[in-house]
């Protein structure tokens, strides 16, 4: 049984942040995109929304691609919403990461590179945030300016999941 202090601390934290106790957030991130722009998450602008597509293995890149293509197409008319594909490379040996990033960069146009930001650390925190269950799945989240996850899904893209994502985007 939780102590009264732990329960009060949890409730106090929820009141201070305006979130329900246990609300899911992403880890903080600051790093370069493949275009060498700096991406900071959560996004610093008040009221901002960002969509992230995360993959945790080489094979997950195949699962992320259709999700990301659909998001890119939808957000052409909503430039105020940020979107990034974020391969989690934290588990790859350091000497291999540079080759992986070089290969990714070489397959993308300069505009696409602006929307790709590899994650080099905190893999477990990211897994926890997206409710990781399978390494080859895509994980899609919509976050607010505090890093709170407003919507999420995972697994392979499907027309039904695309419709659900479109509905979530239309509410932003």
Residue 50 in contact with residue 143, Cβ under 8 Å? yes
Query: 13-54 pLDDT, tens per residue?
Result: 333 333 444 569 999 999 999 999 999 999 989 999 999 999
pTM of the complete model beyond 0.75: yes
Count of all residues that appear for the chain in the document:
172
Residue 47 in contact with residue 39, Cβ under 8 Å? no
In the chain, where are the structural domains located? 24-170
Query: 50-98 pLDDT, tens per residue?
Result: 999 999 999 999 999 999 999 999 998 888 899 999 999 988 888 899 9
Q: How far is CA 170 from CA 65, 117, 135, 155, in A?
A: 21, 25, 29, 21
CATH code of the region 24-170: 3.40.30.10
Q: How far is CA 51 from CA 2, 3, 74, 92, 106, in A?
A: 35, 37, 11, 24, 23
* DSSP E strands, the chain: 29-32, 38-41, 50-55, 82-87, 138-143, 149-154
């Amino acid at each position: 049984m939780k102590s009264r202090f732990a329960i009060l601390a949890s409730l106090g934290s929820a009141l201070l942040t305006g979130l329900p106790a246990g609300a899911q957030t992403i880890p903080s991130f600051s790093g370069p995109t493949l275009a060498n722009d700096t991406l900071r998450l959560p996004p610093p602008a008040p009221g901002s929304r960002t969509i992230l597509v995360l993959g945790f293995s080489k094979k997950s890149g195949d699962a992320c691609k259709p999700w990301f293509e659909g998001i890119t197409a939808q957000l052409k008319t909503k430039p105020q919403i940020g979107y990034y594909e974020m391969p989690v490379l934290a588990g790859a040996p350091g000497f291999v990461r540079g080759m992986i990033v070089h290969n990714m960069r070489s397959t993308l146009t300069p505009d696409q590179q602006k929307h790709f930001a590899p994650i080099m650390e905190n893999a477990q925190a990211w897994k926890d945030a997206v409710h990781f269950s399978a390494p080859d799945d895509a994980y899609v989240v919509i976050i607010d300016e505090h890093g709170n996850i407003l919507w999420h899904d995972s697994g392979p893209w499907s027309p039904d999941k695309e419709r659900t994502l479109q509905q979530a985007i239309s509410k932003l």
